[in-house]
Amino acid sequence: MSSKQGTSLVDITKSLLASVQESQQSQDQQQTNEGLMQHKKMSNDTSIDEEEEDQRIRIKENNTQLWTALDLSGQMITTISPKLFHYGFLRRLYLNGNNLRKVPEAILQLKSLRVLDLSFNMLTELPGELGMLFNLKYLYLFGNDLKDVPYEFGNLYQLEFLGVEGNKDFNQEFVNIIAKKGTRGLIIHLRDEAPRLPPPEPRKWIEIGDDGEPNLNPDEQKPAIECDLSSTSSNSFTLMSYNTLCQHYATPKFFKYTPSWALAWEYRRQKLTDEILSYKTNIICLQEVETKTYEEYWVPLMESNGYKSVFHCKSRARTMNDKNAKKVDGCATFFQTSMFELIDKKIIEYGRVVMTQDKYKKTEDIFNRFMNKDNIASISILQHIPTGNKIVLANTHLHWDPEFNDVKTMQVAVLLEELRVLLLKYTNSKDELNKIPLVICGDFNSQTDSAVYQLFSQGSVKEHYDIKGRDYGKFTSEGCTHPFHLKSAYGAINELPFTNFSPTYTNVIEYIWYSTGTLSVRGLLGEMDPNYAKRVIGLPSADFVSDHLPLISKFEFKKSSSAKKVKVDFRDGSFSRKT
C-alpha cells in the first residue's frame, strides 16, 4: 500500500465516522457544565486533514522537519530496525503488507504517531507499549492473527478508528463492543476494566544539610510517610502545597484516559484524605478546593485532626447566588493548633485590587486580559508558638492559560506589591522587610523559564517574551520589581522533574517560595516513582487522584532572624479579618 493509498484509507475512515463523531460531540456538549468549565482549559476535537495538521504543527513549533510520514508497506520486512524508533517526529507510519511477527516495545518512542498501519502481517499479539501512543487516531490491524488487544489500549483516548477485521480468532466480546459502541466504546471498556497497576513506590524524603546540599543517596532516603513531619524541632516547621483538582474539573471530558471509577469524587476524596493526612505536615495549603466541600468536609475532618484553617474562594463567587457560589473553588490553608496561632488573614483579589487602586494604570490590557480572571491569594499571618516568630504565608492559584502568561506575571507583581505594602505597616524601614519570614506557595501555572519564575527568583523582570508587547503601565514600561529575597524551596534539588503530569503537558508549575534571610530548607518531598510514571500517560490515575503532585518542605528559622528582634504586631493592622 502506498502512502497515497494510506491517506485515502484515512479519508474513507473519516467519512464513515462523521455521523458518529457528530453524535458524540453533541452528547459531550450536553454533559458539560459551562458555568464551571469556562474556567478550565477545554480541548479542541475538530477533525482536519492530516497533511494540513502536519503543516500547522510545523509552523507552530517552528519545526524544520519537512516530512513526517514513512511508507514501508509491501517490503516483505520480517523485523523492524531499531533505528526507526529514533524518528520521534513521525506522525504516519505504514508497515502493512509485510511479514512482521512482533512489534518491538520500543514503539513507545514514536509518541507523535497519529496513523499506524500494521495490517496484513503475521502478528499474534501486541505489546502494551503500543497503548502509550496516546496521539493515535487511526490504528489498522486488519488481516493478522490477533486474538485481542492489550488493556493498555485504554490509554488511546484520541483513537477514532480501530480496524481489527480479518483476525479470525479475535476476542468476540471486543468485536461486539466495537459493533455496538464503536472504537470509543472499546477504549472506555479497556480503560475501566484494566487490571490495577502495581502500586507506586512511596515518595522519598530528601534531607537538606546545614550547607544547603541535599542528600541524594537513595539508600539513605526513607519514605516520607515514615518520617513524622509533625514532630519537628522547636525551631522548624513543615509545609505542604497541593492542587487537589476540584471535583467539577475532574470529568471524563477533561480526563478521557482516567478510569471513570477513579474520577468519582467519593473515591478521590478518600484518597486525597489519606494522602494529605499521611504526611502530618504542620501547615497544609490546598488549591482548587470547592467552597461547599471545604465547609462540610475538610473543616470538620481537619479540626478532628488538630488543625484550624483559613479559606478564600475565587472572585466570581461574588456575582453568584448562594447555591452556585458554594461550587466555586478557592485556596484553603490549614495549620496545626499545637504549632501555630492565627494572628490575621486577608484576601488579595487580583482584579479588584488593580481596579480600586490608582497606582495600577487602567490600560487596555488590564481591561481586556486581566480583569476577567478571578484568581486570588489567601494571606495568613501565623505565629509559631515554640519560637514566637511570626510568618506571613500566601497561598495562591494563578490563571491557567499559557496564552495569558502576561496576566500571570501581573498577578504575581500585584501579589508581591501588596505584600510589600502590608509588611511596611509593621516594620520601621524597607531594610527590615526581609527580616520577617515569608512563604508564598501554590499553583503558579508557570514554568522555570517564565517571567513569573524570573520575577520571584531574581527580584525583577522587564525584557521577557511573556510580557513583550503588553501594556500594564509602569509594570511593563519600567519592569516589575520587588524587594524580597526569595528562592524556590525545591531549588535545592533543581526542582522536581515535574509537578503537573498529563499526556500533552508535563512540567514544573508549582513552587514554594521562601525568604532566604529568615528561613532555610532542611527537607523536601521527593519525586513521583519514575517507574510508575512510565506506565501511565498522565494523572489523575487510580493511585494519584490529582493531575498535580503535592510539594512538601521543611523550614528552619535562621538564628539571625530571632536574634535581632523585629517588632511586628499584625493585630493592629488596618485590614480586617472579615474577608
User: What is the tens place of the pLDDT at every residue in 81-94?
Assistant: 999 999 999 999 99
Locate the DSSP E strands across 483-560. 486-488, 500-501, 506-507, 510-515, 519-525, 551-557
Q: What is the grid cell recorded at 451? A: 517571567
What's the confidence (pLDDT) of residue 358?
A: 93
Tell which wins on pLDDT, 18 or 335.
335
Q: Does 199 reside within a domain?
A: no
User: 10 Å Cβ neighbour count for 42?
Assistant: 11
Nearest 10 degrees: Cα torsion 98, 100, 104, 110: 20
Residues 422 and 553 in one domain: yes
Query: Residue 253: which region, alpha, beta or left (left: phi > 0; alpha: psi -120 to 50)?
Result: alpha
Residues 117 and 212 in one domain: no
Q: Does 578 reside within a domain?
A: no
Residues 455 and 420 in one domain: yes
Which CATH number characterizes residue 89's domain? 3.80.10.10
Q: Which amino acid is at 234?
A: S
Could you say which of 193, 215, 248 is where a domain stops?
Answer: 193
Residues 161 and 237 in one domain: no
Contacts of range 56-63, beta carbons closer than 8 Å, 24 or more positions apart: 63/89
Could you say which of 172, 193, 214 is where a domain stops?
Answer: 193
Distance CA 309, CA 25 (A): 42
What's the confidence (pLDDT) of residue 579?
A: 33
Distance CA 167, CA 146 (A): 6
Residues 184 and 319 in one domain: no
Contact by Cβ (8 Å): 467, 478 = no
What's the confidence (pLDDT) of residue 40?
A: 42
Residues 110 and 214 in one domain: no
Distance CA 13, CA 18 (A): 9
Maximum separation of any 2 CA atoms in the chain, in Å: 84
Could you say which of 141, 158, 193 is where a domain stops?
Answer: 193
Residue 480's closest CA among 500, 453, 499, 507? 453
What's the confidence (pLDDT) of residue 428?
A: 76
What's the confidence (pLDDT) of residue 16?
A: 56
Q: Tens of pLDDT along 59-87? A: 666 677 789 999 999 999 999 999 999 99
- Using CB atoms within 10 A of its CB, is residue 91 exposed (0-12), middle (13-18) or buried (19+)? buried
Residues 211 and 84 in one domain: no
User: What single DSSP character describes residue 295?
Assistant: I
Q: What is the grid cell recorded at 461? A: 523582570
| SS3 state of residue 205 | strand
Residues 111 and 228 in one domain: no
| SS3 state of residue 393 | strand
Contact by Cβ (8 Å): 495, 464 = no
> Does 550 sit behind a cis peptide bond, omega within 30 degrees of 0 on the bond before it?
no
Distance CA 559, CA 339 (A): 19
Q: Does 218 reside within a domain?
A: yes
What's the confidence (pLDDT) of residue 27?
A: 45
Q: What is the grid cell recorded at 392? A: 506571613
Q: Tens of pLDDT along 246-302? A: 999 999 999 999 999 999 999 999 999 999 999 999 999 999 999 999 999 999 999
Q: Does 198 reside within a domain?
A: no
What's the confidence (pLDDT) of residue 446?
A: 98
Residues 474 and 337 in one domain: yes
What's the confidence (pLDDT) of residue 103?
A: 98
pLDDT band at 431, cuts 50/70/90?
Answer: confident
Mean predicted confidence (pLDDT) in 32-42: 37
* β-sheet bridge partners, residue 515: 486
Distance CA 499, CA 542 (A): 17
pLDDT at 13 over 70: no
Q: Does 424 reside within a domain?
A: yes
Range of the domain at 146: 3-193
Residues 259 and 167 in one domain: no
Residues 41 and 112 in one domain: yes
pLDDT at 507 over 80: yes
pTM value is: 0.89
Distance CA 100, CA 81 (A): 12
What's the confidence (pLDDT) of residue 570?
A: 53
Distance CA 182, CA 363 (A): 51
Tell which wins on pLDDT, 558 or 569.
558
Could you tell me which residues come within 8 angstroms of residue 362 by beta carbon, excluding any fewer than 6 positions away?
355
Q: Does 422 reside within a domain?
A: yes
What's the confidence (pLDDT) of residue 53?
A: 72
User: What single DSSP character describes residue 506?
Assistant: E
Mean predicted confidence (pLDDT) in 210-224: 95
Could you tell me which residues come within 8 angstroms of residue 168 by beta carbon, excluding any fewer than 6 positions away?
145
In the β-sheet with 307-313, what is the strand arrangement from edge to edge? Answer: 205-207, 519-525, 551-557, 236-243, 283-290, 329-336, 307-313
Residues 267 and 181 in one domain: no
Residue 213's closest CA among 524, 544, 574? 524
pLDDT at 51 over 80: no
Count: domains in the chain: 2
pLDDT at 49 over 50: yes
pLDDT at 4 over 50: no
pLDDT band at 15, cuts 50/70/90?
Answer: low
pLDDT at 8 over 80: no
What's the confidence (pLDDT) of residue 43?
A: 36
Q: Provide the mean pLDDT of the chain.
A: 90
Full DSSP string of 354-369: HHH-TTS---HHIIII
Q: Tens of pLDDT along 150-196? A: 999 999 999 999 999 999 999 999 999 999 999 999 999 999 999 99
What's the confidence (pLDDT) of residue 231?
A: 76
What's the confidence (pLDDT) of residue 417?
A: 97
Catalytic residue from among 344, 365, 443, 529 = 443
Give catalytic status of residue 443 as yes or no.
Answer: yes
Could you tell me how far CA 501 lies from the centroid of its own chain? 6
Q: Tens of pLDDT along 435-464? A: 999 999 999 999 999 999 999 999 999 999
pLDDT at 19 over 90: no
Q: Does 385 reside within a domain?
A: yes
What's the confidence (pLDDT) of residue 226?
A: 95
Contact by Cβ (8 Å): 253, 247 = no
Distance CA 575, CA 73 (A): 72
Residue 538's closest CA among 255, 216, 307? 255
* β-sheet bridge partners, residue 91: none
Which CATH number characterizes residue 266's domain? 3.60.10.10
Contacts of range 464-471, beta carbons closer than 8 Å, 24 or more positions apart: 464/409, 466/405, 466/406, 466/408, 466/409, 467/405, 467/406, 467/409, 467/410, 470/365, 470/369, 470/406, 471/363, 471/364, 471/365
Q: Does 579 reside within a domain?
A: no
What's the confidence (pLDDT) of residue 425?
A: 83
pLDDT at 571 over 80: no
Which residue matches cell numbers 506557595?
441
- Lowest average pLDDT, out of 10-14, 373-377, 491-495, goes to 10-14
